[in-house]
Structure 1
Amino acid sequence: MARFEAALVASAPASPLRWQFTFLAGKLLLPEGETLQLQPLAAAAAPLLSADAHYLGRLEGVDCWALSVSELPPGWQAVSLRAAMLAMPEALLAVAARAAQLIEWDRAHRFCGVCGTPTLRKGDERCRICPACQHLAYPRLSPAMMALVWRGRELLLARSPGFAPGIYSALAGFVEAGESLEQCVLREVAEEVGVQVGRLQYYGSQSWPFPHSLMVAYTAQWQAGEIVPQAGEIEDAQWFDIDALPAIPPRFSIAGHLIRDTVARLKSGELA
């Protein structure tokens, strides 16, 4: 995997190319006529960079920047971030997620949440500070668990009303205040489909910039209960044999990796 070195301030000399993640109302800007296969820009030919840009660090020695604009500049097109991420390699996807979340944090914390005073960027860390009451606002992360429930050679997959047609995925939900990740898994599974699980195994995590989630994925073995979909949250939930799965998320999301890797583990007997 390509190496990314995070940094708050750009070091000299600047790289001759740069990755520039420019956003307009949540959409990513690309030069007109280009496909979603992103390419780094020549630094001299990237006119959108401004004093408000956020330096992210270097990806394989190439400077990475994030910024937002209020209108579409000539010669550029705005595309869905999800669509763009589908075409990105894993290393670039992670940097794009970082860029999107920083832009959203910066947008949402222009004023102090305590006293309403306009905030300023704090120069020595990624933070906005209120000059009146000194309240600090760091980039927000919302931890969410993901649980793939298995039983023998079956996976419990569900779909929410907002999913693309035909897509089924693992269960997911946000962690509540005072709750551990493991407690969240047990609660969310029980709430969303009415079953009890055990044998939780941590799988991995992924930054998910819609708008600022940290997805933490587990596998969990079914223990008891019949599927009862949660009204308003789960449109459908079923047990699927691993050789007869419905359409599932692509690999750019951790759900896509989790489901495919769990199928491989079940077929090999590693998970039994």
Structure 2
Amino acid sequence: MLARFTPASSFTSPQAVTRCLVISQQQFALYQGSFLLDPDTARFIGNVQHSLFLGYVDGEPCEVWRLEAPDDFPGLSWHGLRGLIGQVEDVIFRVLGLAQQLDGWYDTHQFCGRCGNRMQTHVNDRAMHCEPCAQTQYPKLAPCIIVLITRGEEVLLARSPRFPSGFFSTLAGFIEPSESVEESLHREVMEEVGLTVTDVEYLGSQNWPFPNSLMLGFHARYESGEIVPQPGEIEEAHWWPVDQLPHIPPRGTISRWLIDCYLARLRGQPEPPPPV
């Protein structure tokens, strides 16, 4: 069992890497039950297109390696990150999430957006740098609000047209330029379901690597209005009794954590720890 991950501050390891994650087409290699491979094993899987230093897993330097055309052999399987939610150790999921975010960001920042020249990894920072025009680009996160609206023994859950049949979740949306977090929450709730809320309470956050969001989690109490789903965004939205909830997100997601925290409060039980 892994105990600790310490993120790096640059793309270059100061010492020889002893652990690596292998990614290809947004799928991670699992070999003989482990995502963390030794470099010699990883080299047999395929040619390395690029490697990025992630940090230290239990004190061992770890990189993510992207492969061009991986081979297939016994004991090797490939897994998308979404399918691993709640299925792997928290430390492993955090490292895999960081690897997917950085790999995707690196792939789309090979050339300078100002002058078009090829960029290079920054010497000291986790960034890409353009020498000709001195432009430096750092990985960026998209902040989002995610909110569970409550009404006594009921909670509001909605489904997007993209969700599987019968699946419902909390409301969420991106924070727009010039908005505060609170303004974004009230706007998103009004846009998506036509309601006003009060008693907004921040509970916690989760990095969400699909592809690069930072989810800021809230509870809010219903104040007024009738549910009017936003066309194209919300297919259905209903008040659900807390003892008759539909199919909801799995544990390990902040949406499920917001729901579980509210249920714990209603039952007078300790709140569960926040997700990774």
> CA 1:175 to 1:233, structure 2 compared with 1: closer, same or farther past 3 Å?
same
Aligned to 1:226: 226
Query: 2:194 and 2:187 mapped to 1: Cα distance?
Result: 9
The 8 Å contact of residues 158 and 234 in structure 2, kept in 1 or not, is answered as yes
List structure 1 runs of 4+ shifted beyond 6 angstroms: none
> CA 1:125 to 1:184, structure 2 compared with 1: closer, same or farther past 3 Å?
same
Percent of aligned positions that are identical = 37
Instruction: Look up the SS of the partner of 2:232 in the other structure.
Output: coil
How much has 1:157 moved relative to structure 2?
Answer: 0.4
The CA RMSD measured in Å over matched residues stands at 2.2
Query: 2:7 and 2:47 mapped to 1: Cα distance?
Result: 19
Q: TM-score normalised to the size of structure 2? A: 0.88
Aligned to 2:267: 267
Aligned: 1:46 with 2:42:
yes
Q: Which one-letter code corresponds to 2:158 in the other structure?
A: A
The 8 Å contact of residues 146 and 172 in structure 2, kept in 1 or not, is answered as yes
Query: 1:126 and 1:23 mapped to 2: Cα distance?
Result: 19
Q: 2:67 aligns with which of 48, 66, 69?
A: 69
Aligned to 1:4: 5
Q: Which one-letter code corresponds to 1:214 in the other structure?
A: L
Aligned: 1:162 with 2:162:
yes
Deviation readout 1:119-139 (Å, 9 max, x if unpaired): 111110011011221111111
How much has 1:140 moved relative to structure 2?
Answer: 1.6
Query: 1:156 and 1:51 mapped to 2: Cα distance?
Result: 46
Q: Which one-letter code corresponds to 1:130 in the other structure?
A: C
Aligned to 1:135: 135
> CA 1:251 to 1:242, structure 2 compared with 1: closer, same or farther past 3 Å?
same
Aligned to 1:242: 242
Aligned to 1:201: 201
Query: 1:85 and 1:180 mapped to 2: Cα distance?
Result: 30
How much has 1:11 moved relative to structure 2?
Answer: 4.3
Aligned to 1:90: 90
How much has 1:86 moved relative to structure 2?
Answer: 3.9
How much has 1:74 moved relative to structure 2?
Answer: 3.4
The 8 Å contact of residues 158 and 235 in structure 1, kept in 2 or not, is answered as yes
Q: Which one-letter code corresponds to 1:44 in the other structure?
A: D
Q: TM-score normalised to the size of structure 1? A: 0.89
Q: Which one-letter code corresponds to 2:13 in the other structure?
A: A
Q: Which moved more, 1:57-66 or 1:94-103?
A: 57-66
**Which 5+ residue runs of structure 1 have no aligned equivalent?**
none
Instruction: Look up the SS of the partner of 1:221 in the other structure.
Output: strand
Instruction: Look up the SS of the partner of 1:41 in the other structure.
Output: coil
How much has 1:269 moved relative to structure 2?
Answer: 8.8
Aligned to 1:178: 178
Aligned to 2:120: 120
Instruction: Look up the SS of the partner of 1:184 in the other structure.
Output: helix
Instruction: Look up the SS of the partner of 2:50 in the other structure.
Output: coil
The 8 Å contact of residues 38 and 88 in structure 1, kept in 2 or not, is answered as no
Q: Which one-letter code corresponds to 1:264 in the other structure?
A: A
How many residues are paired up? 264
Query: 2:3 and 2:148 mapped to 1: Cα distance?
Result: 29
How much has 1:39 moved relative to structure 2?
Answer: 4.6
> CA 1:252 to 1:269, structure 2 compared with 1: closer, same or farther past 3 Å?
closer
Q: Which one-letter code corresponds to 2:83 in the other structure?
A: A
Instruction: Look up the SS of the partner of 2:267 in the other structure.
Output: helix
Aligned to 2:274: none
